[in-house]
Amino acid sequence: MIHESANIHPSVVIEGNVTIEANVSIGPFTYISGNVTIGEGTEVMSHVVIKGDTTIGKENRIFAFAIIGEESQDKKYSGEPTAVVIGDRNVIRESVQIHRGTVQDRGVTTIGSDNLLCVNVHIAHDCIVGDNIIMGNNATLAGHVTIEDYAIVSALSPVHQFCTVGAHSFIGGASVVVQDVPPFVMAQGNHCKPFGINIEGLKRRGFEKSEIHAIRRAYKALYRNGNTLEEAKVEINKEIEAFPVLQGFLDLFEKSTRGIIR
């Protein structure tokens, strides 16, 4: 179904079960195939490829040569029906690649809302990308990676499969992430190591001074006081009732399979 208000260039190729909602615009030489939904007000520029099963929300901007919903590069993938789901108001710049999930995991690659994915970002199968995230040029996610809300992954930085990059964290440019990065932490290097708290980011997002001080104490418990991870958990847990914002540290510790950067 194509809404009558959609503006579609005559050179666009559309085949399959495609739904294009109101006020969508699609530029020249774009190819859309399969079970695809493009939400209201989304702008798809020239030479974009979108394959199903893919659902794209409202008011996204998708730039030239982006490829969304292509098959996974996982060698175990054998053509099973899997999906990509993208939220609202994302900016997906030139040559970004977002691959479908695999049946060995969730079967879906998920992108939230209000994200900026810069030129040539790669998001592999089964990744979970939250909201308000920035990924710099050529930042890449291997399969099964989770990027939590408000995280920044700077240019040229790859993230190893199954890693989590915590909320409000900051990965410096050309870093290699091979273990989980706790929330609020700045990390850089190959392999990346912690370099303090993302203070400026927390201030910009309206965190209270008392919360920032509590986050700094949690960081010291984890990295500066000579504690084991179990000892750091105990120290952080003492402040959870007064500062629930610290729960993100404990949640990551519990679910981590790759270990925490140290």
CATH code of 126's domain: 2.160.10.10
pLDDT number for residue 5: 99
Q: Residue 251: give the domain boundaries.
A: 207-255
- Angle of helix 209-223 relative to helix 229-237, nearest 10 degrees, comes to 160
**Is 119 in the same domain as 215?**
no
pLDDT number for residue 182: 99
The verdict on residue 261 lying in a domain is: no
**Is 166 in the same domain as 247?**
no
Report how far residue 43's alpha carbon sits from residue 77's, in angstroms, rounded to the nearest whole number: 31
Report how far residue 125's alpha carbon sits from residue 129's, in angstroms, rounded to the nearest whole number: 11
The verdict on residue 165 lying in a domain is: yes
**Is 123 in the same domain as 157?**
yes
The tally of domains found in the chain comes to 2
Low-confidence ranges of the chain (pLDDT < 70): none
The verdict on residue 26 lying in a domain is: yes
pLDDT number for residue 235: 98
Report how far residue 36's alpha carbon sits from residue 13's, in angstroms, rounded to the nearest whole number: 13
How does strand 83-86 pair with strand 170-171?
Answer: unpaired
**Is 101 in the same domain as 16?**
yes
pLDDT number for residue 180: 99
Task: Say if residues 242 and 217 touch (Cβ distance below 8 Å).
Answer: no
pLDDT number for residue 14: 99
pLDDT number for residue 89: 99
The verdict on residue 1 lying in a domain is: no
Q: For residues 95, 24, 147 and 214, what is the CA-based torsion angle, rounded to 10 degrees?
A: 130
pLDDT number for residue 79: 94
Question: Structure tokens of 2?
Answer: 């194509």
pLDDT in tens, 239-261: 999 999 999 999 999 999 999 99
Report how far residue 63's alpha carbon sits from residue 139's, in angstroms, rounded to the nearest whole number: 17
The verdict on residue 262 lying in a domain is: no
The verdict on residue 118 lying in a domain is: yes
Nearest Cα to Cα of residue 60 among 73, 72, 48: 48
**Is 139 in the same domain as 242?**
no
**Is 16 in the same domain as 46?**
yes
Q: Which residues, including other chains, have CB under 8 Å from residue 50's CB and lie 6 or more apart?
A: 30, 31, 32, 33, 36, 38, 44, 56, 62, 67, 68, 69
pLDDT number for residue 213: 99
CA 228 to chain centre: 30
The verdict on residue 36 lying in a domain is: yes
Question: Structure tokens of 115?
Answer: 């994200």
Question: Structure tokens of 262?
Answer: 């140290």
pLDDT in tens, 92-102: 999 999 999 99
Active site residues: 125-126, 143
> CB count, 10 Å around CB of 128?
19
- Give me the residue label for tokens 């969730």: 106
Give me the count of residues in the chain: 262
Q: Which residues, including other chains, have CB under 8 Å from residue 156's CB and lie 6 or more apart?
A: 136, 137, 138, 139, 173, 174
Q: Which residues, including other chains, have CB under 8 Å from residue 110's CB and lie 6 or more apart?
A: 84, 85, 86, 127, 128, 129
